Amino acid sequence: MSTLSIVDLHVEIEGKEILKGVNLEVKTGEVHAIMGPNGTGKSTLASALMGHPKYEVTKGSASLDDANLLDLEVDERAREGLFLAMQYPQEVSGVTNSDFMRSALKAVTGKDVPLIKFIMDYEQNATDLKMREDLPHRYLNEGFSGGERKRNEILQLKTLKPKIAILDEIDSGLDIDALRIVGENVNNMISDDFGCILITHYQRILDYIKPTHVHIMIDGKIVLTGGSDLIEKIDQSGYEWVKEELGIDFEVGKESL
């Protein structure tokens, strides 16, 4: 069993503090859903944990088992078992999807996976996600629809098999069928060897990826933690309910940070 531990994490962007003391512990076998209005720091948390240079950690700690993540480069964090499914996956021209996946797998594991085994696993994972047969020969995300890009992030997840994954709004851009397929594939991975943080605005993805913990983030902090009852309350009453419950005030941001 592995544990991602985040203690009093403060993060700023260009001198503006976004995260103001986040505390969170995620173990393999668990699914932690993080919900909250735009602009409250959910995507900042994901990017800071993965080591995006734009985000400066000014206080606190983040570790995965015995590894201090904040001392590591992005690729080193991946090798320790951390994975980020991005909200807006980028195109990489000139690199086929399969070549990228195999290179990433070798970089993370330090082993050169036999080609035949890689192809068999890759094709099975792509079939599980009901992806197009020409996928291995296409350049990474080039010409992909939004839904195809999100499925491709989950294909990477299934290929790399990290300890802890951060899934940043993987439900955006998915129709109902793709949502079910993606959700069921992630949910089937949950085990003593794998857990995840799921950042989302909507309940619909949580119908397929069953959370063990639900957190509400407001103004750069986790202000409420509970179970699925929190999802139902937010779905019915929105975040106005949080204002009334905690007696705090906040404004919905114009964009996600």
> For residue 249, is pLDDT > 70?
no
Classified as helix, coil or strand, 154 is helix
> Looking at the domain assignment, is residue 97 inside a domain?
yes
Pair 143, 232 in one domain: no
> Looking at the domain assignment, is residue 9 inside a domain?
no
**What confidence tens digit (pLDDT) does each residue in 128-150 have?**
999 888 877 788 888 888 888 88
Pair 156, 243 in one domain: no
Pair 135, 78 in one domain: yes
Range with the largest mean pLDDT of 34-38, 129-133, 188-192, 203-207: 188-192
Pair 155, 234 in one domain: no
CA distance 191 to 125: 17
Give the CATH number for residue 147: 3.40.50.300
Q: Tell me how many domains the chain contains.
A: 2
The range of the structural domain enclosing residue 144 comes to 73-196
Pair 184, 79 in one domain: yes
CA distance 73 to 118: 26
pTM exceeds cut of 0.95: no
Residue type at 201? Answer: H
> Looking at the domain assignment, is residue 36 inside a domain?
no
How many CB atoms sit inside 10 A of residue 73's CB? Answer: 10
Share of the chain above pLDDT 70, in %: 96
Pair 248, 182 in one domain: no
Q: What is the 3 state secondary structure string of 18-59?
A: EEEEEEEEEECCCEEEEECCCCCCHHHHHHHHHCCCCCEEEE
> Looking at the domain assignment, is residue 190 inside a domain?
yes
Pair 95, 185 in one domain: yes
Pair 145, 238 in one domain: no
Q: Which residue has the tokens 């599980």?
A: 128
Q: How confident is the model at residue 82 (pLDDT cuts 50, 70, 90)?
A: very high
> Looking at the domain assignment, is residue 130 inside a domain?
yes
Classified as helix, coil or strand, 92 is strand
Q: How far is CA 86 from CA 53, 89, 156, 222, 241, in A?
A: 15, 5, 11, 21, 29
Share of the chain above pLDDT 90, in %: 57
CA distance 61 to 119: 39
> Looking at the domain assignment, is residue 101 inside a domain?
yes
Q: Of all residues in the chain, what percent are helix, strand and coil, respectively (each to 5)?
A: 40, 30, 35
Q: How confident is the model at residue 77 (pLDDT cuts 50, 70, 90)?
A: very high
**What confidence tens digit (pLDDT) does each residue in 108-124 have?**
888 888 899 999 999 99
**What confidence tens digit (pLDDT) does each residue in 214-235 have?**
999 998 999 999 988 888 888 8
Q: How confident is the model at residue 64 (pLDDT cuts 50, 70, 90)?
A: very high
